[in-house]
Amino acid sequence: MSDTFVEGTFLGLPALDGGADVTVVPLAFELTTSYGTGTEGGPSACIEASGQVELYDDALGEALPAGAVLHTADVWEGSASTLRGQLDELSDHVRPFFNGQQFPLFLGGEHGILPPVLHAARAHPLVQGDLTKVTVVQLDAHADLRSSLDGEVFSHACAAARSLDVGIGALYQAGVRAYCKEEADRIESDSRISTFFAKDTQHPHTGGLVWQRWIEALRALEGPVHFTLDIDGLDGSLVPATGTPVPGGLSYWQAVETIETLFGNPNAVIISADVNEIVPQADTPLTQFTAACLATKIIASHLLAKREGRWKASSAPLRSEGQCTFFSDFDEKTHSAS
């Protein structure tokens, strides 16, 4: 908790002069939810809950902001009349945050934010338009690899599939425990996908060994990485108000270990992250507070990586990109075999 609390900013921290080291970007996007609703209010609820999070991080060894400039952007709300138009808008909105001078942390909103965020990452100096360089690390209860749900190819249930269509090079998933036959077949057949199922990592007898293989996989990653945390990847007891809660998920400390391992990898550069599927909980703030705690751990881990030289601000200019039309122009028939 900040001694000088500023309402509406992440962690309640006052804005400081100078360019942002970390920018928290709230994305109030909710157009394809299929069960529980309310993710549109998730970013604001997470920011409000963050005011109660302790600023001291034991790995960092000091309290946030630890000399860094932390900026909270205004809440984005789409204005286009169609889902695809809003996805294009969202991508255009977040692109400037991929200038390589700051670390963007996006707060959702439903998981449908992921493909447009990744499309915008094409502009990052380390990516330079080639998303095959980018690995996505996903904590999630769901594989999100459906070709469509209820006839919608840009459903939140298709976020990982569409991210592969956008062009990412590899996808690593953990926490997955709800998926259909189509998704199981794709996990088996697509060499870009590595999935660590919750039934294996949480097994009472052998789960520790499987979890260690997940940690070793994270340590072996190289190049630009985007980390996406769907909070339903955690056990439902920790996030009961998330959009599609599923029992049998990851523990809080497994999520923390994933974050610390990822940002501690000397051969990978975590260029961005998102925390999504946050739904404000009325009777208790547990869901949004858990999300705020993990978002804070992401920020602290980034600052530690920067301090220790694993993340360096880029001097290269932001890659010029025209207005996004990828989602409006998307042809599911063209991408169905990808």
pLDDT tens digits, 67-79: 999 999 999 988 8
User: Residue 241 corresponds to which amino acid?
Assistant: A
Indicate the DSSP class of residue 13. Answer: P
The fold of the 10-335 domain, in CATH, is Arginase; Chain A (3.40.800)
pLDDT score of 34: 45
User: H-type helices in 148-206, by residue range?
Assistant: 159-166, 181-189, 198-201
Indicate the DSSP class of residue 149. Answer: B
Q: Is the pLDDT of residue 33 over 90?
A: no
Q: Is the pLDDT of residue 32 over 60?
A: no
Q: How confident is the model at residue 156 (pLDDT cuts 50, 70, 90)?
A: confident
Please compute the mean of the pLDDT values over residues 251-273 and round it to a whole number.
99
Where in the chain are the domains?
10-335
Neighbour-count burial of 169, counting CB atoms closer than 10 A to its CB (0-12 exposed, 13-18 middle, 19+ buried): middle
Residue 194: phi, psi to the nearest 5?
-125, 115
pLDDT score of 174: 99
Q: Helices 207-219 and 252-264, interaxial angle, to 10°?
A: 30
What percent helix, strand, coil does the chain show, rounded to 5? 40, 20, 45
Please compute the mean of the pLDDT values over residues 296-300 and round it to a whole number.
99
Q: How confident is the model at residue 151 (pLDDT cuts 50, 70, 90)?
A: confident
Q: How confident is the model at residue 38 (pLDDT cuts 50, 70, 90)?
A: low
Q: What is the pLDDT of the chain when averaged over all its residues?
A: 92
pLDDT score of 338: 47
Q: How confident is the model at residue 41 (pLDDT cuts 50, 70, 90)?
A: confident
Please compute the mean of the pLDDT values over residues 239-254 and round it to a whole number.
92
Helix (H, G, I), strand (E, B) or coil at 305: helix
Condensed to tens digits (0 to 9), the pLDDT of residues 173-184 reads: 999 999 999 999
Please compute the mean of the pLDDT values over residues 110-124 and round it to a whole number.
95
Tell me which of 6 and 332 has the higher pLDDT. 6
pLDDT score of 3: 64
* Kind and range of the H or E run holding 92: helix 83-94
Q: Mean pLDDT highest for which of 33-37, 125-129, 153-157, 260-264?
A: 260-264
Q: How confident is the model at residue 149 (pLDDT cuts 50, 70, 90)?
A: confident
pLDDT score of 334: 63
pLDDT score of 37: 59
The 10 Å Cβ neighbour count of residue 16 is: 13
Neighbour-count burial of 217, counting CB atoms closer than 10 A to its CB (0-12 exposed, 13-18 middle, 19+ buried): middle
Identify the residue whose tokens are 């459903």. Answer: 155
pLDDT score of 337: 43
Closest CA to 21 of 91, 59, 72: 72
Q: Helices 286-307 and 42-50, interaxial angle, to 10°?
A: 70
